[in-house]
Chains A and B, each alone.
Chain A
Amino acid sequence: MNDFELNTTISNLKNLRETDLSSFDGVYLGNIYCRLFEQNFLERLDDLKEGIQRVKDAGLLAYVTTYAAPRNSFLPKLRKVLEVASSANADAVEAHNLGVLRIAHEEFPGLPIHVGGFANVYTDSGAAVLEEHGARRITPNYELSLEEIDELAHGANLPTEILVHGKMPLGISDYCFLLDYEEKWGVNCPTLCQLPLFVKRDTWAMRSVGKGIMSGKDVCMLEHLPRLVASGHRTFRIEAAYETPAYRKEVGGVYREAIAAALSKGLYSVADRWWATVREHAPVGLCNGFYFGKTGMEYLGAESGMLTPFTLHATAVE
């Protein structure tokens, strides 16, 4: 049995089939932002069943995530998603929305529930309430520092999941402004949000995924894994809902090795090849999110000087 869990996110069956999962212990299936995401597991129940089976056949934990901001009209489909998760023996569902948490807890009592980062768990009292409503694991709000997360974890007595790498979710919308460009660019939904689209100002950048907005930089906690394991964290996520199979395989491989090293008794240092890999997959650069109580896009650590922000060199304005 592993002494830690490394998991990731995959939005559809095509991506799941193409991804080498050997570095991971678990997979969250589904796209939380948009019902129109290409072949979203949450809209294709047969795909979801196959996805759960495929993950389990690989000996991994199969989790099913759910929409972060569902309107009433989403609920019938979400109930079917929960039914599939339950009947296919998914290991847990992830709820970012407290209405979904309630439905899962009341209508599918055997299904463990993980609470996602959009559920706004900021304090131990918030976590305690959710625990009473069936939560078995919490992703604290992304804005919390490690110190606050530790306080929350100890106060609520619930396991926490930590985003250790990837683009950090920053917002969710009812509006997909990328649709404005379908005609102009000749690219249609659902391909649009899978393009490498960034909104930028000066040295600031965010990844636009249509109805979601994410950090432009990749959160990277490679240097700080010993701090995380020393605080007792054992469940780690590489956020990759909009990333490629190569990203998952290579970044996942780095973290598998790095977390094992951080948990071992020996000296921990970040290998050059790890840096090379994570840099290669982070065109806008790396950051630490809010883990050190700083502005989310800052990076703190020995490597900070080497992590330059992107440079603006637009080739054309259309």
Chain B
Amino acid sequence: MAVRRVTLLAPAGSLKAAHAAFAEGADAIYVGLRGWSRGGQKGELSRDEMKDVLEIARGSGRGVWLAANIIPKPEERKRLMGHLRALVALGLEGVIVNDAGSLRDVSEAFPQLLVSASVGCGALNEGDVLFYEALGARAVVLPGYLDPSEVAAIKAKTSIQVELMVHMVQQFVQLGKCFMPSYFRLRPSRTEDVGVRLTGSVKRGGVGVCFSICQEPWDLYWGERKMDRRLFPAQQVSRHGDLGDFLDAGVDIVKLQGRSLPPEMLAPLVRRYRAAIDAWEDGLDRPVDSEPAPLPPMWTAVGR
């Protein structure tokens, strides 16, 4: 794939979604291999589908990344490496991993791969990015709720690519730091080709993953007194309006969340960000359909 200054990286949870993403201008897509990604079977591809996707990408000069973003148990590492080897031979360009051990193992075994530290690695500051860089990462994913100034400060310290998840759902608990679902329900499940997965563990799910308990209403008690019924706060983050500021800050890879998105929802999303990147590359401030959308003041680093 030809190297672009900015890469638009789109999710694809099916062959149709992959077609839609490429058709709308994604430079690369990320996909999950059944049983080996956070997000569950619904958004994962079989090995045959992976081959098809890689062939489509090869034919159109685009890239495919594998979201291998669960933490493999010691006995699973070998199998994951075997899958990676086969996929690299078919033209896999990048892989997204979810912990320091996997990152180093994969980057050492496959120096030709663009190894990226998943948003689940929890990188938030320049120290994090430098840490993953030292382990061999060639990109680190940052959450889209950071400010452009934070990204610029991080980018100034690192020589690897900064991947910003510009379109994502920000749940109450930070990605990669949530053990709530498994506290309430942990269900071992056997999956095709992988063995036992602990459904309910966000980091090690593989099937069904998190039970989204944070999206249900909860009663808030002060001692034994019920004070309120409420949802945990969550918000849709979409940095389309200030994408230019992020690109000015040095973002290399514009990443969209949503392997579960159907093609008809994915297509306009990819189109919108493609247009925004193109506008920025053409020297325009931002596309005419967009205004900056600052995050609400409560969502700040110090809490108020």
Q: Which residues of A contact B (CB under 8 A)?
A: 34-36, 68-75, 97-103, 118, 120, 122-130, 133, 141-143, 148, 151, 155, 168-177, 179, 181, 185, 189, 195-201, 204-206, 208, 210-211, 213, 215, 290, 293-297, 313-318
Contact = CB atoms under 8 A, between A and B. Distances in A.
Nearest to A33: B303
B220 interface: yes
A36 B303 CA distance: 8
Interface in B174-203: 174, 176-180, 182-186, 188, 198, 200-201, 203
A315 B170 CA distance: 34
Given A125-B104, A171-B179, A102 B99 contact: no
Contact of B220 (A118, A141, A199, A316): A199
B301 A74 contact: yes
Given A102-B131, A213-B173, A71 B301 contact: yes
B4 interface: no
A215 to B, nearest CB: 6
Given A70-B125, A75-B127, A296-B182, A171 B101 contact: no
A294 B184 CA distance: 10
Given A74-B301, A155-B74, A171-B173, A102 B130 contact: yes
Contacts of A123: 71-74, 99, 101
Given A120-B99, A290-B186, A36 B304 contact: yes
Contact of B223 (A72, A101, A196): A196
Contact of B203 (A129, A143, A151): A143
B101 A174 contact: no
B190 to A, nearest CB: 15
Interface in B126-148: 126-132, 134-135, 145-146
6 contacts: A70-B125, A71-B150, A74-B125, A171-B178, A177-B230, A316-B225
Contact of A129 (B122, B135, B218, B300): B135
Contacts of A129: 100-101, 104, 135
Given A98-B128, A133-B131, A295-B184, A69 B303 contact: no
Given A177-B233, A197-B220, A318 B227 contact: yes
A126 B170 CA distance: 26
B105 interface: yes
Nearest to B304: A179
B71 A97 contact: no
Contacts, number: 235
B182 A143 contact: yes
B183 A206 contact: yes
B122 A69 contact: yes
Given A102-B127, A213-B172, 20 more contacts: A34-B303, A68-B177, A99-B124, A99-B128, A99-B129, A101-B131, A120-B121, A122-B101, A126-B102, A130-B100, A142-B179, A171-B174, A173-B173, A174-B303, A185-B222, A198-B220, A200-B219, A290-B186, A296-B184, A314-B226
A102 to B, nearest CB: 4
A208 to B, nearest CB: 7
Nearest to B186: A295
B34 interface: no
Given A73-B301, A102-B131, A103-B127, A120 B221 contact: no
A171 B124 CA distance: 16
Given A125-B102, A316-B226, A200 B180 contact: no
A315 B223 CA distance: 10
B126 A200 contact: no
Contacts of B178: 170-171
